[in-house]
Amino acid sequence: MFGLGMALAEEADMECYFGSSASSDKVLPGKSSVVMFHIPDIGIRFKAPFAGVDRDHSDLASLLALLEFIDKNQNYFSHGTYRLLGDNLNVINQVNGRAESREEFEHLLELASNYREKYRFSLEWIPSDENSAFESLFD
């Protein structure tokens, strides 16, 4: 019986990847990055230009875009837990409360906190080469 319960718990975790990549002003005028996320279980890939002030800002925007997608599209999701994976340790530690938050991003971190209260998710670091959000960057 214990083995079955563990299998069901593991199936409930949906892995979701997020990140951003710097962009040239020549490629995307007025935009400094591309924010993106990937949800393999449902075949969703998202990427959009973004005018971020730095990498942390762009990665926070990517995380919030992912969380907003989850929020607005609950018909695609079970009511399990989400495992959010990104490669920016600064952002992950700030959202997880392990690092001092940057004052200019307080409102963004508060949004992430509000989503955490609404949905169960873990937020974990992975190396960039394991982040599947980057796989279709140049499509």
Q: How many structural domains comprise the chain?
A: 1
Q: What is the C-alpha separation between 14 and 43, in angstroms, rounded? A: 12
At residue 117, φ and ψ (nearest 5 deg) are -70, -30
Residue 122 tokens, joined: 């873990």
Q: What is the C-alpha separation between 29 and 134, in angstroms, rounded? A: 21
Q: Domain range holding 85?
A: 2-134
pLDDT in tens, 6-47: 333 345 589 999 999 998 665 666 688 999 999 999 999 999
More confidently predicted of 73 and 4? 73
Residue 19 counted as domain residue: yes
Residue 139 counted as domain residue: no
Residue 39 counted as domain residue: yes
Rounded to 10 degrees, the C-alpha dihedral 27/28/32/38 comes to -100
The CATH number assigned to the domain holding 77 equals 3.30.420.10
Q: What is the C-alpha separation between 41 and 43, in angstroms, rounded? A: 6
pLDDT in tens, 43-73: 999 999 999 999 999 999 999 999 999 999 9
